[in-house]
Amino acid sequence: MKNPTVGKHEAEDLKKIVEKVIKGLGNPKPPLDLRDVRELLKLDVRYYSSTNDSFLQETISRMKIAGKQIIKRPSLLLDVVKKAKLSALWIPDHKRILIDESTPKLKHRWFEGHEIGHGLAPWHKLFLFGDNQETLGQGCHEQLEAEANFAAGQLLFLQDRFVIEGNDNQANMKTVLQLSEVFGNTKTSTLWRFVEECHEDKFLVGVISQHPHHPKNDFDALAPIKHLVESPGFKEQFGNINVFNLFASIKKYCSRNKGGPLGTAMIRLLDVNGDAHDFRFESFSNSYECLTLGVYVRKVGIIF
């Protein structure tokens, strides 16, 4: 799945909103403390169990007892969580974020940032938990999620501060891992943000997948790459990339180690005009996923 593009106007609006939040926090140094964000925005974060219906039902009941109607049909919230298998969700009328306590704690920070992103986009309140065809459409859902991810990235990575630090260092996996520690975010989200916004003078691509040599039971051979993250320049010049060939090439050089660095290699990719270009790829396993960064090296020529 390729990273969806956020509209120009929506991106500009979200940047301005996040900028106000960061200024309201006094332009803090990384890592951003989400407790300060909650206090500034008057947000409430609670945890629920997706594996215990009674616990989730009790959570909803308590919210109703508090005297605030969450949505027109409160039972819809329970249906949404159960059917969509959500890891977290945003309750607009209650300014509350619910996070599934059974999910890995390392991801809770991103889940919270993502739901804050929904809350920062004023137009999202019109769509969340709706039941009309427009709201339930897949295209609309993906757009809302992309905008929430964009806002979360702007907030958790303190906007230009991350870009400046990324550009001050080399475009490689070592830099991604270092920035993950500095900003206190997951390696996966750091790779995503690095590819999309750092080193605009280079073609960058990120691949998030299962470990090529240790696939899980839910591995889908028809969709071997979970997320293909493209820099704006890469998306324009290499938008026709074959994900099956790319995954196969990554698998060739990756070691069977279950964690840490998995290897590096030069991989040749064709651009939209059929010209060949060499990219330096390197992969790293965080024990949950295989993270791969591809950085442009040189043009080779036309393949006949």
Q: Is residue 292 part of a domain?
A: yes
The closest of 281, 283, 279 to 296, measured between CA atoms, is 279
Q: Is residue 108 part of a domain?
A: yes
CATH number where 62 lies: 1.10.10.2910
Where is the domain boundary, 156, 186, 216?
156
Q: pLDDT tens across 176-228, in order? A: 999 999 999 999 999 999 999 999 999 999 999 999 999 999 999 999 999 99
293 — alpha (psi -120 to 50), left (phi > 0) or beta? Answer: beta
204, 272: one domain = yes
For residue 186, what are its two tokens?
Answer: 């997951």
166, 297: one domain = yes
147, 193: one domain = no
The whole-model pTM stands at 0.87
* CA separation for the pair 269, 26 (Å, rounded): 45
296, 232: one domain = yes
pLDDT at position 11 is 95
Task: Give, for 204, the enclosing helix (H) or strand (E).
Answer: strand 204-209
| Confidence class for position 96, pLDDT limits 50, 70, 90 | confident
Where is the domain boundary, 156, 186, 208?
156
Mean pLDDT over the full length of the chain: 87
pLDDT at position 133 is 42
12, 149: one domain = yes
182, 258: one domain = yes
For residue 181, what are its two tokens?
Answer: 């520690």
Cβ 296 vs Cβ 202: under 8 Å: yes
Least reliable range by pLDDT among 147-151, 215-219, 298-302: 298-302
The closest of 250, 261, 256, 253 to 284, measured between CA atoms, is 261
| Cα–Cα distances in angstroms (integers) from residue 53 to residues 57, 101, 128, in the given order | 6, 13, 21
Q: Is residue 3 part of a domain?
A: no
| Cα–Cα distances in angstroms (integers) from residue 279 to residues 48, 153, 234, 245, 304, in the given order | 44, 26, 11, 14, 20
17, 83: one domain = yes
Q: Is residue 2 part of a domain?
A: no
For residue 1, what are its two tokens?
Answer: 């799945």
Where b means 16+ CB within 10 Å and e means fewer, 249-262 reads bbbebbeeeeeeeb
CA atoms within 13 A on the CB side of 184: 13
- Count of domains in the chain? 2
CATH number where 197 lies: 3.30.450
Cβ 191 vs Cβ 206: under 8 Å: yes
For residue 26, what are its two tokens?
Answer: 């006094």
Quickly list H helices, the chain.
Answer: 8-24, 34-41, 53-65, 74-84, 105-120, 133-136, 138-156, 160-167, 173-183, 187-197, 232-237, 243-253
Least reliable range by pLDDT among 95-99, 222-226, 253-257: 95-99
131, 219: one domain = no
Tokens 């909650």, residue? Answer: 38
Quickly list H helices, 3-71.
Answer: 8-24, 34-41, 53-65
Q: pLDDT tens across 98-118, in order? A: 888 888 888 999 999 999 999
For residue 203, what are its two tokens?
Answer: 């073609």
166, 132: one domain = no
39, 103: one domain = yes
Q: Is residue 136 part of a domain?
A: yes
104, 167: one domain = no
Phi, psi of 36 (to 5 degrees): -70, -35
pLDDT at position 53 is 62
The closest of 290, 207, 293 to 1, measured between CA atoms, is 207
Q: Residue 266 forms beta bridges with which residues?
A: 280
Where is the domain boundary, 136, 156, 176?
156
Its domain, for residue 113, covers 8-156
Q: Is residue 1 part of a domain?
A: no
